[in-house]
Structure 1
């Protein structure tokens, strides 16, 4: 059975939470501009709101809508980096404060083609956080996701549930004031 994008987009617009495969690991997601939906993810994960969630965008054009500035070397870095790369940017004005830490936001341009298409059709960023309870090891495959997480969401993607490839989180980096790249993970 295929996933119905129209249904998923309606759920996202209604503030619902989805469980979906990314270019890294399985993630919990929602409309990144909906504070109530974001709070649901914090509740599901039992995560402190002082620990911001990252978001995914479909492409560089969407990225530019949600950040104040992009370091000139980011586009080159994104093209040549071997693993999915989340970069911390100065946030623009279109995202809720709950996603920000000191005025910054962690964003990844999603490389998973089906999910990139979903984000593009949705027209806004989607939260992307590992599908686990805070402090518990992240699931490397769909089968590793706890039933409590699965039962807490409004939609579970069917796509890629049988993948055997072990997922790993993205690399996280930022540019310092001096223009140097600093890696956090």
Structure 2
């Protein structure tokens, strides 16, 4: 795993795109602070850049670098959830501008996965995590279902867990600073 982490970090630091196993499905990732790399993901996925992307961070401490406020409801969900849950926060900061939604919100997940945790921790920053598919096509449930266009379009493919099969993306919940909670995807 250490070799894969080292290779990923090298590509992330150089503005590259990685294809990696997340705590949910295979994802395309890049440095969440690099607007050129974020744009490359939008182009590869053929996705409108008005549709925001998800980021992964290692822990609560790192989360605080990217959002102005962590509402208590969000902290409660982080503490008790047993399934992958992405939370959309108001008032994003310290991220590539083209990663932040038009309402200044950002979707962030703290993954319960050793590889993702170590990757974010050793990279010391947020990493984009979007499903490894062309926009509008089904999300691949395993590495073998990833399209050739995606495989050719990334700079590095992680050689771990390629036999792993995941059936479900994360839940997405928007938690506003005013306490309003809205389930986006369950």
Gaps spanning 5+ residues in structure 1: where?
none
Is the Cα–Cα contact under 8 Å of residues 65 and 92 in structure 1 kept in the other structure? no
Name 1:21's counterpart in structure 2.
21
Alpha-carbon distance, 1:94 to partner: 0.6
- Mapped to 2, the partners of 1:85 and 1:148 lie a distance apart of 28
- Deviation track 1:24-82 (CA, whole Å, cap 9, x = no partner) reads 10000000000010011111100000111111100010001110100113222112213
Gaps spanning 5+ residues in structure 2: where?
none
Secondary structure class of the residue paired with 1:65: coil
- Deviation track 1:98-144 (CA, whole Å, cap 9, x = no partner) reads 11121110100121111110110000100000000000010011111
Name 1:149's counterpart in structure 2.
150
- Mapped to 2, the partners of 1:124 and 1:114 lie a distance apart of 14
- Mapped to 2, the partners of 1:40 and 1:177 lie a distance apart of 31
The alignment's TM-score, normalised by the length of structure 2, stands at 0.93
- Mapped to 2, the partners of 1:13 and 1:91 lie a distance apart of 25
Report the number of matched residues.
Answer: 184
Is the Cα–Cα contact under 8 Å of residues 74 and 175 in structure 2 kept in the other structure? no
1:38-117 correspondence to structure 2 within 5 Å: 38-101=38-101, 102-117=103-118
1:129-140 correspondence to structure 2 within 5 Å: 129-140=130-141
Secondary structure class of the residue paired with 2:47: coil
The alignment's TM-score, normalised by the length of structure 1, stands at 0.94
Is the Cα–Cα contact under 8 Å of residues 100 and 106 in structure 2 kept in the other structure? yes
Name 1:32's counterpart in structure 2.
32
Secondary structure class of the residue paired with 1:128: strand
Name 2:182's counterpart in structure 1.
182
- Mapped to 2, the partners of 1:137 and 1:3 lie a distance apart of 31
Name 1:118's counterpart in structure 2.
119
- Mapped to 2, the partners of 1:13 and 1:125 lie a distance apart of 12
